[in-house]
Each structure stands twice: as C-alpha cells, then as structure tokens.
Structure 1
Amino acid sequence: MAISDAEAVARVRAGDSGAYGELVRAHAGVALRVAVFLGAGADAEDVVQESLVKAYRALGGFRADAPFRPWLLRIVANETRNAQRSAKRRGVTEAAAVLPEPVADPELSAEARARRAELLAALEVLPEPYRLVVTCRYLLDLDERETATVLGWPRGTVKSRLSRALRKLRVSLETDLAHD
C-alpha cells in the first residue's frame, strides 16, 4: 500500500531515506513533463535528477502542512530556468523545443492533428509568461494553486495571465482560420 506524501516526508525526516524513493516514484513522471514543457529539452532528465537531489536536501525546510507535488515542481521549474541560463552562457545555440512533438495517435483524424498543430504553434509564439501559465494549467493539468506555486506567482497573477493568454490564443487561432 502506498503511503501519502505527508507520511513519506515525515519518514524521510525521521531518517528513512527509502521513503524518499516512494516520493520519487510518485512524482518523477510529472517532474519530467514539467522540465520538458518548460523548455529543458535534451537536459530534462538531468534537470529532474538535480531537482530531486535539491528537494531531498531541502526537506528540512519543507512545511509539513504544504502539498509536496507543487513544492517539488517549483524546484523543477527553477532548475529548468537555471539550465536554460547556463546553456545561453555557454553559447549553446541548440534551441530546446518548448513543446515536444506529439506522438502520432491513429485515433486522431487528419483535421484534428492539424488543429492540434495550429494550437501548439500558436502557443509557442506567446510571450513566455503566457506560454508558461497555459502549459502548467492545460498541458500539465495543474490546478490554479499548483500553477502559482510552480511559477512562483500569486494566484491573482495566474488568473490574469491565463485570461490574457487564452484571449491571445483565441485571437491568433481565429486569425489563422480567417486566412485559410
């Protein structure tokens, strides 16, 4: 039987490092998706690894009444930004894709695939804060509170930026449809 995040954190703090393995198994998948969607590209696995190590070291300062997943994902988001800055300083010109190429889904019609591609293309050209908030809310399926924690923004900022981002996406997609 799996234990809750709060129980696992308490066990790790009590010296049971194996309990951290349970936290890692429970959250590594979403952590990797966050790193990829926020632009870590080929470095996503390294970013997650570093984030998990940092989270382990910082567990002493973790508030027991706070949810673990958003706290961890905030660390992943910060590490992703650090990796991007580091790559720029090194002069790495390979642009990490903001959004991974979707896996071919035979269930999707050609029209649905084309519409999805249009949506992803429109999302890629949004200003970064808008792209980040839409990615967190809809591609990573984080709730408003989790999105605020991951991005380090107040909830009101998440709401307003999401509203503006969706409006920009709508206008962009309507413009694209008008040109077709």
Structure 2
Amino acid sequence: MPMKLNKFSVGKRYAKALFEYSEEQARLDTTYQELMVIKQVLQASPDFLTVMSLASVSNAEQTQLLTTLAQPFSQITQDFLHLVFDYGRMNDLDLIIAEFERLYDATHGRVLIHAVSATALSQEQRQQIGQAYLQRFNGKSAQVTNTVDPDLIGGVIVEAEGRRIDGSIRTKLQQMRALLAQPLR
C-alpha cells in the first residue's frame, strides 16, 4: 500500500516541478510574479481554497472559479493551476506557492528575514539588520519584515533560513535568572 504524502511533501514536489519547468521555458520570473499575485488573492480571499474543496460546490462551478482566477496569467500558470485542481490539491496551493517562493529566493540569493522587536523598527534599522545578516552568513540581498512584541523589553530576535538569533533583553534576563537560581559550589 503506497504511503500518503503529507501536505509539505506535496507542496515541495509540485513547487519543484513548476520551478524547473518554468526555468526550462525561460519563464521563471514571469511565473514567480504571477504566483505572487495569486498569493495576494488567496490572502485577500481566504475562503477561496475552502470553496474549491467543498462537496456542495459542483465541479463545474469550481472549474469556472478556477478558470476565472487563472485567465489573466500565462499558459504555464494556467496549466499549473488546472493540474493542481485536477489532482485535488487546491488546499495545498498556498504551501506550493510558499515553496516556489523559497526556491526562487534561494536561486536569486535573496534572504527573507523576520525581526521581532519591542518597538517598531525604522527602515534604516531593518536595512542594518539585513546587511549585518548578509555579512555574517550569505546572500545577495535581504528583505526584512518586522513584528512588534513589547514583552521583549528591548533588543531583537532575528529569524532567517532556519536560524534564530535571540538578542532580546527578555532572554538575557531569563538567562541571568537561571544563573542566579543555581546553587553556589
């Protein structure tokens, strides 16, 4: 009995296949741009993927919705969307797009960095974090997003490429507290 693939494995396989095919056809940038538009549509209409998998919505209605979504895009993207639909993988579309984006960014040396700070970071601070990361690790360019968490007290937590660098005051205080709690020898 064949093993069922999890959503992440499906996302990786479909994204890799689309990525490689788009690259072969010299349409990688176009496919990327179109998938980013679809990503925005999915974020703006989170119920779309649910509707595309409801048994109460007929296959003809789902096909019409998909055709409407795919219509402005290139033939590669249209064919890809129909393939995902035909194989019943519409609920995995967001994961497929995320993996395609990761592959695209890796190919172009772009590092996506998420910085969590106690207060909002200025554009200059985000650029400094990006440059510091690129100098310490690798990449050609960095895109830094910022989330505010007042519980950090100060400092910043940087997450990128599976790395987590925690320079927050909260963590430093927790470490000091743990050291002070240890018995003297």
TM-score for the superposition, normalised by structure 1:
0.26
Q: Which has the higher helix share?
A: 1
Q: Which has the higher strand share?
A: 2
Greater CA radius of gyration, 1 or 2?
2
TM-score for the superposition, normalised by structure 2:
0.25
